[in-house]
Chain A
Amino acid sequence: GESVGLHLPTLSVQEGDNSIINCAYSNSASDYFIWYKQESGKGPQFIIDIRSNMDKRQGQRVTVLLNKTVKHLSLQIAATQPGDSAVYFCAEKPDSWGKLQFGAGTQVVVTP
């Protein structure tokens, strides 16, 4: 289940189960959204992206869902593995170029 830790919400998932990570974005004009994975001591790593003219996009073991009506993104990870343990950030691009605006992040902990 989910719990709020000192700094980040934490999602504990049993190995092999599916994970769902949620994110609320702020700018209704944003046209592009990305999920990043960040392991301890490393920079964010691109996972998957989606344009605002889509509501679903699938990658390898990951699916991103976009609900523009309520400004909500979710990342689904199928058959979660120990290597999926990390902090996951959603990001939006409020302009057609340049900066990313990141959400607060969710810590995913995969238990055996």
Chain B
Amino acid sequence: GAGVSQTPSNKVTEKGKYVELRCDPISGHTALYWYRQSLGQGPEFLIYFQGTGAADDSGLPNDRFFAVRPEGSVSTLKIQRTERGDSAVYLCASSLGGTLTETQYFGPGTRLLVL
């Protein structure tokens, strides 16, 4: 059984460039989450999808960050005009339906380095 997968595993880009990070959730999971983890810290919530719609995007730091999930499965996190401070590990998680006690299963993350 496949878990959550994320591509690419590593991404190096230059300041000001645009990047897209992809997440493939576990098949059948309707809830999908994006988190960002800086070195030595716990993951910080960015956005939560229930199906195709963003149910909570309160964690997106500014309007340079945007995420989509057009068919309710794969999601893409898009970062415009990247800054050095965007360097972090971007984690994706999915759960069956998003209810209180459902386990969120995490992918391995995409390590983004902005030079």
Contacts of A71 in B (CB 8 A): none
A43 & B106 in contact (Cβ 8 Å cutoff): yes
Contacts of B44 in A (CB 8 A): 102
Contacts of B48 in A (CB 8 A): 98-99
Task: From B11-19, B63-71, B78-86, B96-104, give the one contacting chain A.
Answer: B96-104
Interface centre among A43, A44, A91, A104 (most CB of B within 10 A): A43
- Chain B nearest CB, measured from A21 CB (Å): 13
The number of A-B residue pairs with CB atoms under 8 Å apart is 67
Inter-chain CA distance A46–B50, complex, in Å, is 21
B40 & A7 in contact (Cβ 8 Å cutoff): yes
- Chain B nearest CB, measured from A95 CB (Å): 8
20 contacts between A and B (CB under 8 A): A42-B109, A43-B93, A44-B43, A44-B106, A46-B105, A49-B103, A89-B42, A89-B43, A96-B99, A96-B100, A97-B55, A97-B98, A98-B56, A99-B56, A100-B43, A100-B45, A101-B45, A103-B42, A104-B41, A105-B40
Interface residues of A (CB under 8 A from B): 6-8, 31-32, 34, 36, 41-46, 49, 51, 89, 91, 93, 96-105
Apart from A46-B103, A98-B56, A99-B45, what 19 extra A-B contacts exist at CB < 8 Å? Answer: A7-B39, A7-B41, A8-B40, A32-B100, A34-B103, A42-B109, A43-B91, A44-B106, A51-B101, A97-B50, A97-B55, A97-B99, A98-B98, A99-B33, A99-B48, A100-B45, A101-B45, A104-B41, A104-B42
